[in-house]
Every structure is written in C-alpha cells, then in structure tokens.
C-alpha cells in the first residue's frame, strides 16, 4: 500500500497532572481519509489525548501537527478553523436553539458570517442549502424546528455529530458517538457514522467493539496513557497484549486462572 498523506500527527506527546502521567510519549499518525479507532480500557487516557489534540489541555511536552503545521500551542477555536473538529462524549449542544438554528449558526460561523449583525440569521442562500443537506444527511429534517433540549437522545447524538461536520473538518474526532443510544435509534446513528464523507479523516473513540471493527481501517490501543500497539484491525484482534489488557491482570502476568 502506498503511503497516504498524514493530516494529523502527534510526536512524543506527554501530559502530567502533578505526579500523575496521563499521557506518556504518544505517537499518532492519522492519514487522509483515515478511519482510525482509538481504543483502550477505562482510564487509558483517551479523553486526555483528545483534549490535548483539540487544545483544551496544553501538552507538558511533545508536538502536534495538523496538515504539516505545528498546532501544539494554538488556541482551541483556531485549531477548529484549521480543520480539527471534535464531538463530545457527553452531548454539548445549544439547548435553547433548534437544530435548524444551531446548524445555521455553525455554518454561518464557518463561513465567517458571525461578525454580521445587520443581516438575518439564515438570510444567506448558500448557508441554507448546506444546512438543508446536513439536516437530511443526519435525519434531522423532521425535527429541525424543535428546541434541541426536547429532542430524543438519539437525535441529540446525531445533532452532536452534525454540528461537528458543519464545521467542515479535515480531521474529525468522534468521542464515543453511540454511547448510551437506545437500540431503536442506534442503527440510524451507525448508518450515519458509516456514511460520513470519505475525504474527512476520522478518529473514533469507542467501547463498542462491533462498531470499532466494522468501521476502522487503523487502530491504536492506549493503556495507561501510552500507546500499547497500533496497526490494522485484524492484527490488533490477534495481538496477545491487547487481549491481556482487556481480559485482566491475571492473564498479563501469565498466571493461569484455574
């Protein structure tokens, strides 16, 4: 396989909280159009890593590059402007706004229209067109005028991703997109995640292994803040260390259970 272009990379990324090492010299490469799953047991430092990449936390040491530019110390909203966008494990929506208003605002924001105070929100035809596309793509058209607070959890989850995609990301970080979604709404969400545009590189954090293995082309396993291994899903599935981590410490030390 020829080497695709790297869009997001982390080199020797470290983060300490006092004496606690949350991220330990992590190297990560995300390629153009990648479907990359980031997995690991609870407390492995997945969310910390996401927070470092998006700029919510600043790294103790190490370097982050986006599209060849150093973004290690860039403010979070400027990283978004450069194309690094995330969704949140716990929905972070504009709860008093409807999906329509939310997406119109986000698309306007992406196109630099939020400095306008005289125009009406949604006056721009191109913006509206894009909003309509997004609403349809995320199955939100029917509920687009309901206040987001009153949407079902599954719809809120869809909106959560729609908001991120409205930012026109180059790299999209999906933090547990299907966590907590009831079975009835799950299929819709999975289908939508699978149909995200192929030119957007996606990093998926997820505990649901069915989704991970059906979705990912590359995987990275984090344990105790460090990369345990990375590679293609079928290799990871066979990796003994990964099995040990997920099955518990007895196996790690090779002590037979019975």
Partner 1 sequence: MSAPMGITDVLSRHKTKWWEWMGVLAALATPIVFSSHAMMVNEIAVTALFAVALDLILGYSGIVSLGHAAFFGWGAYSAGLFAKHVHNDPLMGLLFSVISSGFIGLACSFTVLRGSDLTRLMVTLGVSLIGFELANRLSDLTGGADGLQGVLMGPVLGVFEFDLSGQVACTYSVGIVLLVMILLRRLVHSPFGASLMAIRDNRLRAMAVGLSVSKSLVVIYCISAAVAGLSGALLAQTTAFASLDVFSFERSADVMLMLVIGGVGWLYGGVLGAIVFKLIQDQLSSLTPQYWMFWIGLLLVVLVLVGRERLLNPFKGWRSR
* Residue ranges binding partner 1 (CB under 8 A): 54, 76-78, 80-81, 85-86, 88, 92-97, 100-102, 104-106, 108-110, 113-123, 128, 132, 135-136, 141-142, 144-145, 147, 163-164, 166-167
CB 206 within 8 A of CB 176: yes
CB 149, min distance to partner 1, A: 10
Antiparallel, parallel or unpaired: β 226-231 and 20-31: unpaired
Identify which of residues 116 and 198 has a Cβ nearer to partner 1 in the complex.
116
In the complex, least distance from residue 142 CB atom to partner 1, rounded to whole angstroms: 8
- In the bound state with partner 1, the residue whose beta carbon lies nearer, of 125 and 249, is 125
Q: Among residues 33 and 76, whose Cβ is nearest to partner 1?
A: 76
Residue (93 or 226) nearer to partner 1, CB: 93
The CB density around residue 2, as the number of other CB atoms within 10 Å, is 3
CB of residue 2 vs partner 1: minimum separation in angstroms?
Answer: 33
What does each C-alpha distance from 201 to 64, 89, 114 come to in angstroms?
A: 16, 19, 27
Alpha-helical segments (H) within 85-152:
99-110, 125-137
Residue 137, strand partner residues: none
Residue 66 pairs with which residues in a beta bridge?
A: 8, 69
């Amino acid at each position: 396989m020829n080497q695709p272009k790297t869009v997001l990379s982390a080199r020797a990324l470290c983060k300490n909280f006092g004496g606690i090492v949350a991220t330990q010299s992590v190297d990560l490469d995300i390629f153009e159009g990648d479907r990359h799953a980031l997995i690991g047991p609870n407390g492995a430092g997945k969310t910390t890593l996401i927070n470092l990449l998006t700029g919510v936390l600043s790294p103790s040491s190490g370097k982050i590059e986006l599209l060849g530019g150093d973004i290690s110390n860039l403010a979070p909203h400027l990283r978004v402007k450069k194309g690094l966008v995330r969704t949140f494990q716990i929905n972070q929506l504009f709860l008093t706004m409807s999906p329509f208003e939310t997406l119109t605002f986000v698309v306007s924001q992406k196109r630099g229209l939020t400095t306008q105070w005289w125009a009406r929100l949604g006056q721009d035809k191109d913006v509206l067109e894009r909003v309509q596309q997004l609403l349809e793509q995320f199955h939100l058209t029917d509920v687009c005028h309901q206040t987001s607070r009153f949407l079902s959890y599954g719809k809120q989850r869809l909106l959560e991703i729609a908001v991120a995609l409205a930012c026109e990301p180059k790299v999209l970080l999906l933090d547990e997109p299907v966590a907590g979604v009831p079975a009835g709404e799950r299929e819709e969400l999975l289908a939508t995640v699978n149909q995200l545009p192929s030119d957007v590189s996606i990093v998926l954090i997820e505990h649901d292994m069915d989704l991970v293995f059906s979705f990912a082309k590359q995987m990275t396993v984090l344990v105790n803040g460090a990369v345990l291994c990375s590679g293609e899903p079928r290799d990871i599935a066979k990796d003994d260390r990964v099995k040990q981590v997920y099955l518990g410490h007895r196996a790690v030390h090779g002590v037979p259970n019975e």
